[in-house]
Amino acid sequence: MSVLKGKSNSKKRILLGLLALVVVAAIAITGYTLWLTSDVEVSDAVPVAKTIVPPTAASAAPAIAATTVPTNVPATQAPDSTAPTVAPTTAPAPAAAQVYRIDATQSKASYKVSETFLDGNRIVDAVGVTSAVAGDILIDRTTPANSQVGEIVVDISQLTSDSNRRDNAIRRQWLESAKYPLATFSNAVISELPAELSEGTPFSFKITGDMKLHDTTQPMTWDVTMTLQGDGLTGTATTAFKMSSFNVDPPDIAGVLTVEDDVALTLDIVANAVQQ
């Protein structure tokens, strides 16, 4: 009888132990879910990028120095016909190169990535957008090859989509953008720029440089189309990359969601001429 009672007590202890494990696991999962999906505080400030210093009008077209005319020549003295003609002083020509600064109130950066919900094998495109974009672009209308793209900085912690849970998971765990908030594109080299730029006519080119994202820097090339219109410059730049190339694992929630490794990036730019 005592043996049976001992076995019964042993089973109860095992069941109680299993129940305790289930409760602890449920609490841990709930806590982790709340931690993962709770709002992450992020800055709403526009990031700061290194500015481009435009060439001055004087450096673009130096003035011709005037020759000093003697003031002690008698009025009755006949002019020396052999003396060289004095060139008049010429005002500097305006600089051909103009710096345009990105207007964060009208510009935006966005990502697009495909998500698959395993329960119904539904594939959707997740899109996140932010207006926290900064940077300078120098356009030389006379010699387009001298144009430059300065440092472009985007605060990716401010990216928002149609899901707060996704945004917070990106900030806290997947991309860790709360820890690494800035994506920085620098050392840009322009190629395939046309020889002539016309007001109001779109022109296309490529820029290749260093993209720093998360904790990794990789070369990246953008396809760009822009239009000059008065004191404004508008355009779109696009590129694509793999998350894994920047030391970011594509999100994968077993049985619920998988995310593709490929990401499409777009910059929609509105920039205004910087007064020189």
pLDDT digits (tens, 9 = 90+) for 204-244: 999 999 999 999 999 999 999 999 999 999 999 999 999 99
- CB contact at 8 A, 194 and 200: no
Rg (CA), the chain: 32
The C-alpha atoms of residue 104 and residue 47 are separated, in whole angstroms, by: 9
- Tell me the pLDDT band of 249, cut-offs 50, 70 and 90: very high
Higher pLDDT, 122 or 110: 110
Evaluate whether 125 touches 133 at the Cβ level (below 8 Å): no
Contacts of 77 (CB under 8 A, 6+ apart): none
Across residues 168-175, what is the average pLDDT?
Answer: 94
Q: Give the SS3 label for residue 141.
A: coil
Flag whether the pTM goes above 0.95.
no
- Residue at 140: amino acid letter: D
- Of 174, 153, 169, the residue nearest 246 (C-alpha): 174
Q: Regarding predicted confidence, which is higher, 121 or 222? A: 222
Q: For 49-63, what is each residue's pLDDT tens digit?
A: 999 987 764 444 443
Which of 51, 255, 46 has its CA nearest to residue 154? 46
Residue type at 165? R
Provide the residue type at 204 as one letter: S
pLDDT value of position 95? 57
Cβ within 8 Å of residue 61, ≥6 positions away: 92, 93
Residue carrying the six token digits 């290749």: 208
Residue type, 149: V
Percent of the chain scoring above 90 in pLDDT: 62
Provide the pLDDT for residue 54.
77
- pLDDT tens track for 182-200: 999 999 999 999 999 999 9
pLDDT band at 259 (very low <50, low <70, confident <90, very high): very high
Q: What is the pLDDT of residue 41?
A: 86
**If DSSP codes are grouped into helix, strand and coil, which group holds residue 185?**
strand
Residues 192-229: b if buried by 16+ CB within 10 A, e if exposed = ebeeebeeeeebebbbebebbbbeeeeebbbebebbbe
Q: Report the percent of the chain where pLDDT is more than 70.
A: 71
Other CB atoms within 10 A of residue 101 CB = 18
Average of per-residue pLDDT across 12-39: 50
- 106: tokens are 């009208």
